[in-house]
Amino acid sequence: MAGAVELEVDGRAVRLSNPDKVYFPEPGFTKRDVAEYYLAVAPGVLRGLRNRPTTLQRFPDGVEGEFFYQKRAPKGLPEWLPTARIAFPSGRTADEICPNEPAAVLWAANLGCLTFHPWPVRRGDTEHPDELRIDLDPQPGTDFHDAVRAAHQLRVLLEEYGLRGWPKTSGGRGLHVYVPLEPRWTFTDCRHAVIALGRELEHRMPGEVTTKWWKEERGERIFVDYNQMARDRTIASVYSLRARPQATASTPLRWEELDEVSPTDFDLRTVPERFAELGDLHADMEEHAFGLDALLELYAHQDAGDLPYPPDHPKMPGEPARVQPSRARKS
């Protein structure tokens, strides 16, 4: 295995150890391939990460080895790499890195980071999200094309409430739709807004979409994962590689191409070519910022109450019993 190499990026030298280490055995992609991928899409990935506290999903031995989530800024952090202090649901705090330049992304890639998980906030205000993130998650028996049908209905719904969504692949079987926000609402408000959208989609697509938190109740439907807007819940950033054998990437899409593409069209090899040709299809997101008043009015009008939080969250006001339905029936 070759020794370390030094890569120069925007005037900074970043050390890349073991560049020939294989991270994706099936296609044979190495650590250096990962680093060069992130350099090729740097303007796009940084648009999704800039000034955002970011958790690193690290795979030191590649996708077939063990991985972990690095939430706290690791030791040896370069002095030029900023951090932001975030608060977990428990009340504890941590300083997370905020990748603001290509060298920061490359530095993280050297640590085995394949996937970046940015918070939906900026380091200047970590209590008020500036992105609404809607995760359309295919359940067993459904697939990407079912998520696409739900996404088309979601687009119509968003437009009815004066909003606009930007879609991307998750890098797996699902779809993510982002709505840029004015940072005036809390995590709770944003989560309620996604619940309202999910419930309305359930109404418009009965038997195809669900907001049921417990897997045993979801059936063969697209799950609107509203808890992705809960505090300390993050989604793979735009252009992040995913730990799939093919090295797929979470890739921005145009609404018009949703019916024509497959998640496997977008990987470490193909996305740089697409980026060079089309640029960042979500670049104009930063020119917009929407409000949540209409969706929060919808949530109140639905008068259906809150839904369960993730298990690591403290019990929240108005939350229903956090008990799996089958266990509740037994008791």
Per-residue pLDDT, 329: 63
Kindly report, residue by residue over 274-299, the tens digit of the pLDDT. 999 999 999 999 999 999 999 999 99
Q: What percent of the chain has pLDDT over 90?
A: 92
Per-residue pLDDT, 128: 98
Per-residue pLDDT, 75: 86
**Which DSSP symbol is given to 214?**
S
Kindly report, residue by residue over 47-92, the tens digit of the pLDDT. 999 999 999 999 999 999 999 999 999 888 999 999 999 999 999 9
Q: Using alpha carbons only, how large is the chain's radius of gyration in Å?
A: 20
3-class SS string, 268-329: CCHHHHHHHHHCCCCHHHHHCCECCHHHHHHHHHHCCCCCCCCCCCCCCCCCCCCCCHHHHH
User: Pairing mode, if any, of strands 209-210 and 222-224?
Assistant: parallel
E strand map for the chain? 5-9, 12-16, 22-24, 29-30, 54-58, 68-70, 83-87, 93-97, 113-118, 131-138, 166-169, 175-180, 209-210, 222-224
pLDDT band, residue 28 (cuts 50/70/90) = very high
**Cα–Cα distance, 246 to 29 (Å, whole number):** 9
Q: Residue written as tokens 């941590």?
A: 94
Are residues 211 and 226 in contact, defined by beta-carbon separation less than 8 angstroms?
A: yes
**Cα–Cα distance, 38 to 249 (Å, whole number):** 11
Per-residue pLDDT, 331: 56
Kindly report, residue by residue over 195-244, the tens digit of the pLDDT. 999 999 999 999 999 999 999 999 999 999 999 999 999 999 999 999 99
Per-residue pLDDT, 246: 97
**Which DSSP symbol is given to 56?**
E
pLDDT band, residue 327 (cuts 50/70/90) = confident
Per-residue pLDDT, 60: 96
pLDDT band, residue 254 (cuts 50/70/90) = very high
Give per-residue burial for 33-62: e unless 16+ CB within 10 Å, then b: bbbbbbbbbbebbbbbbbbbbbbbbbbeeb
Smallest CA-to-CA distance from 53 within 72, 67, 39 is with 72
Structural tokens at position 165: 């969504």
Kindly report, residue by residue over 115-173, the tens digit of the pLDDT. 999 999 999 999 999 999 999 999 999 999 999 999 999 999 999 999 999 999 999 99
Structural tokens at position 300: 């109140």
**Which DSSP symbol is given to 43?**
H
**Cα–Cα distance, 63 to 72 (Å, whole number):** 22
